[in-house]
């Protein structure tokens, strides 16, 4: 087993999306000895996003292009990016952290910045993966503007689904909410807002069987009535799936403060309830989850790590 000791590293960054890459760039600028661990290609959800039009400095840019630019920027400042699948983050008795990986390599450092994000729950129906980024989306704020004047569907029945359906009516001409039951799980005030919106139509007791289209993108949904079993087609060019999101907070093998959904609670320095463990990006409790908020979190976290390490050295002197 290969081990990088705490004397080798100042900080371990777990996750290579926008937050992780930004943290690595700032760690390099701060002359910290850092390593970024990412199981696949760096970029995170940017790799699944076709166009981005809400990142300052770019009127429009492809998600993979922005991911590549962020990676090059981080590497320019000395980022050490390693392809590793992290299995656990453990706190040692001396307050340092041990990060275990599937390769058997362990990394140790006095601080960790967790930027592992999370995963939108998929429907798991045919066509969902094929049309991701070409009609199928998991983020209304990110992609809503691409559907101006079009007919779209939102799948789900919780607060996120109903709230985002209401939000999407500022762009779409018609928004269908498809829910497999006969009542929403969303809060009453959210439901009332949706029911009062003339652009929203609810399709109850219905599940999506397939997402179908052509080379241009999504064209319609294959539906099934959960009560009668009858099938139908719904012509839409967009489908927004909001049936859940699982933050990757389970990597931390010690109790830390989180909300009911598993999102990590931090202070204004992005420090979690575990000293030396910082969190940034989509797995943190916050109002919205965007590329801009992810890099903002990471900026704060990386600078806070510098200050934490200085304070730690002073206390140990």
Residues marked as catalytic: 139, 142-143
From 257, 128, 262, 152, select the one nearest 201 (Cα to Cα).
Answer: 152
Q: Computed from CA positions of residues 276, 277, 280, 284, in that sequence, does the dihedral angle turn out positive or negative? A: negative
The partner residues of 132 in beta bridges, in order of sequence, read 136
* DSSP per residue, 243-277: S-EEESGGGB-S---B-TTSPBP--TTSB-SSTTE
Q: Which residue shows structure tokens 């999504």?
A: 218
Exposed, middle or buried by CB within 10 Å (0-12, 13-18, 19+), for 87? middle
CA distance 61 to 59: 7
Q: Give CA separation, 310 vs 15, 108, 167, 313, in Å.
A: 24, 18, 45, 5
* DSSP per residue, 160-196: HHHHHHHHHTTT-SEEEEE-SSSS--S-HHHHHHHHT
CA distance 221 to 127: 9
- Look up residue 309 and give its DSSP letter: H
**What are the structure tokens assigned to 112, written together?**
């960790």
Q: Which residue shows structure tokens 């967790």?
A: 114
**What are the structure tokens assigned to 100, written together?**
């275990």
H-helix or E-strand spanning residue 231: strand 231-235
Residues 265/258, Cβ–Cβ less than 8 Å = yes
């Amino acid at each position: 087993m290969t081990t990088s000791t705490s004397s080798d590293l100042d900080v371990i960054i777990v996750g290579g999306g926008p937050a992780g890459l930004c943290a690595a760039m700032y760690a390099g600028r701060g002359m910290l000895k850092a390593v970024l661990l990412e199981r696949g290609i760096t970029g995170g959800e940017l790799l699944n996003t076709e166009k981005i039009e809400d990142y300052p400095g770019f009127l429009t840019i492809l998600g993979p292009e922005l991911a590549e630019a962020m990676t090059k920027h981080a590497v320019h400042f000395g980022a050490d990016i390693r392809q590793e699948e992290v299995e656990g983050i453990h706190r040692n008795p001396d307050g340092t952290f041990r990060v275990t990986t599937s390769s058997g390599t362990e990394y140790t450092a006095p601080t960790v910045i967790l930027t592992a994000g999370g995963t939108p729950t998929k429907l798991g129906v045919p066509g969902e993966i094929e049309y991701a980024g070409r009609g199928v989306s998991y983020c209304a704020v990110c992609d809503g503007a691409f559907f101006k004047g079009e007919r779209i569907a939102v799948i789900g029945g919780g607060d996120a689904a109903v709230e985002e359906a209401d939000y999407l009516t500022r762009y779409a001409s018609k928004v269908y909410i498809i829910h497999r039951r006969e009542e929403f799980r969303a809060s009453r005030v959210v439901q009332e807002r949706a029911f009062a919106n003339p652009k929203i139509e609810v399709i109850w007791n219905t599940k999506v069987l397939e997402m179908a289209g052509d080379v241009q993108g999504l064209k319609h949904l294959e539906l099934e009535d959960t009560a009668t079993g009858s099938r139908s087609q719904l012509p839409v060019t967009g489908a927004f799936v909001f049936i859940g999101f699982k933050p990757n907070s389970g990597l931390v093998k010690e109790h830390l403060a989180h909300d009911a959904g598993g999102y990590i609670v931090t202070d204004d320095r992005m420090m979690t309830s575990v000293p030396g463990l910082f969190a940034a990006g989509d797995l943190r409790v916050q109002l919205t989850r965007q590329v801009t908020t992810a890099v903002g979190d990471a900026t704060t976290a990386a600078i806070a790590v510098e200050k934490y390490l200085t304070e730690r050295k002073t206390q140990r002197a």
